[in-house]
Structure 1
Amino acid sequence: MNYTITLNPAIDRLIFLDEKMESRKTNRITDVAYDIGGKGTHGSYAMSKLGVKNIALGFIGGLNSDKFQRILDAKGITNGFTTLKGQATRECYVVIDHDSSGTTMLTERGVKLSRNDVDTFMTNLQKTVKAKDRVLIAGSLPQGFSLEDLKRMIRLLKEIGCFVACDLSGDALKLAVEIGVDFIKPNEFEVKELNRAEENIVTTLQILNQKIPYIVVSLGKDGSYCIHEGDVYRVKSPPVKEVNDTGAGDCFVGAFLSGLTKNYSIEETLRLASACAASKVMHNDSTTFNLDEVSDLKQQVEIIK
């Protein structure tokens, strides 16, 4: 079974404008839509759409849990979220203008966990996952969940024998590298921070690959690097018209794990993940991608080994 852990999920409120947003001006909203937010939940959606069974785990606030659950149901995401009474799941406001010159995101801080909340989650997680399950930990850490808690969770999953994938940033990413998880997806700036002594990105990847089996470095619209078993792959994404890039990287990760689950080759997996991410940016919301588009875009993905 595949699992995603989104400790600080969100409800994405998509705000559409007919002109580019400007300060000191009345920016008129033409439409509002809602989507699921949080990197792990986006990964769950991608896996579900690609036919890979998975369960989304994490914390949600009880005050707006019905609204959150309706979006999960609409997206076909099976979940076992832990509900926190008296709190609300955070909302992220994603502003999208008519000219599609890029999105602007404003995000709330989210839920605050007690020590009992964290301990109960860890206990339930230990009872739920099994050896050889794939677990994706993605997104920001909520208030009350420390780096020590993250270390405890990753080590717990590794002791059970899970494949641990992490889409994290900052100190959380450094911790995942230190422990030695199975997959990470830093961007080009984050990967340089992981090895400041080495300027060459390929050399850095080769060093990290001695400890981490799968590494993907996101280059945005320019594609990605991937290294596995010492082989470096330069992936060039197909050119597409960008509407909303929010969630594209998360879509890539969910599709990548889907490829591994289906025992695809690394090249097939990269082709699938890149095509799904490219399709995602062509759509308004934070998760949607089109399987027919993916089929066409896969043929346009360039991979150089």
Structure 2
Amino acid sequence: MIYTITLNPAIDRLLYLEEVMESRKTNRIIDVAYDIGGKGTHGSYTISKLGVDNVALGFMGDLNADKFQQVLTSKKITHDFCLVKGQATRECYIVIDRNTSGTTMLTEKGLTIPRHSVERFLDMLKTRVNSNDMVLIAGSLPTGFELPDLEKMIKILKEAGCFIACDLSGETLKMAVELNVDFIKPNEFELTDLNEDGKDQIDFLRSLNNKIKYVVASLGEDGSYCIYNQEVYKVIPPKVKELNDTGAGDCFVGAFLAGVSKGYSIKETIRLASACAASKVTHSDSSTFDLEDVEKLKTQVEINRI
């Protein structure tokens, strides 16, 4: 089983405008749609769509739990979120215009998790996760769930012997690296922060791979590096017409883990993940991708071993 953990999930409210948003002007909304928000839940959606069983875990507020669960159900995401009383799951407002000049995101701070809820969640993981499972920890920490709690959670998962993937940033990413998880996906800025001694980029990626089984480094428009078994692959994604890049990285991670769980080769896994992410950016919401497009786009992914 694959478990995704989204500690600070969201409901994405997509606001569609006829024209580009401008200040000092009445910007008229012509349509409103809802999508699931939060990196781990995006991963769950992708994994599910690729036919791999998984369960989305994390925290949700009871004040808008019905709305949050409706969105999860509409995306066919199996879930078991811990309910936090007196709190609301945050909403993210994503502004999209017809001219596809890019998106603007406004996000609420999110939940405050009481101490007893943190402990209950960690105890649940001890009894639920075993050595045959994969766990994805993705996204930001909510108020009340501190860095030591993340450390404790990763150590619980390591004791269980499961595969641990982390799509984190800042101090949480550094924590994941220190604890030798199985998968990380830093972007170019996060990679610079990790590389405190200023080593050659490729040499540094290989040094990370000594401790971490899969290292994927996002390079923005320049594609990505994937390092596995000390082999470095430069990956150039397909060229597509972009509508909304929100969630593309999450889609990549979900597809990558689905490929690993299915026993795909590293190149097959990279092609699948890159194609899913490329398909995702052609859609206006935060998570949707098309399986037929993925099959076509896989042939357009360029992979070169360095």
Displacement of 1:197: 1.7
Write the distance in 2 (CA, Å) between the matches of 1:78 and 1:221.
Answer: 33
Contact (CA 8 Å) 1:192, 1:199: kept in 2 or not?
Answer: no
* Residue of structure 2 equivalent to 1:200: 200
* CA RMSD between the two structures: 0.8
* Residue of structure 2 equivalent to 1:287: 287
Percent sequence identity over matched residues? Answer: 66
TM (norm. structure 2) is 0.98
* Residue of structure 2 equivalent to 1:151: 151
Deviation readout 1:57-88 (Å, 9 max, x if unpaired): 00000111111111111111001101111111
SS at match of 1:63: coil
* Residue of structure 2 equivalent to 1:168: 168
Deviation readout 1:228-253 (Å, 9 max, x if unpaired): 11000000000000001000000000
Alignment of 1:221 with 2:221, yes or no, is: yes
Write the distance in 1 (CA, Å) between the matches of 2:29 and 2:135.
Answer: 39
Deviation readout 1:175-217 (Å, 9 max, x if unpaired): 1001110000000111111013225321110111111110001
Displacement of 1:261: 0.4
* Residue of structure 2 equivalent to 1:238: 238
TM (norm. structure 1) is 0.99
* Residue of structure 1 equivalent to 2:114: 114
Q: What is the 5 A alignment of 1:32-181?
A: 32-181=32-181
Displacement of 1:20: 1.1
Write the distance in 1 (CA, Å) between the matches of 2:199 and 2:164.
Answer: 28
SS at match of 1:81: strand
| Structure 2: unaligned runs, 5 residues or longer | none
| Structure 1: unaligned runs, 5 residues or longer | none
1:211 counterpart letter in structure 2? K
Write the distance in 2 (CA, Å) between the matches of 1:296 and 1:124.
Answer: 41
Deviation readout 1:3-24 (Å, 9 max, x if unpaired): 0000000000001111111112
Contact (CA 8 Å) 1:18, 1:98: kept in 2 or not?
Answer: yes
SS at match of 1:22: coil
Write the distance in 2 (CA, Å) between the matches of 1:245 and 1:236.
Answer: 16
Write the distance in 1 (CA, Å) between the matches of 2:173 and 2:29.
Answer: 37
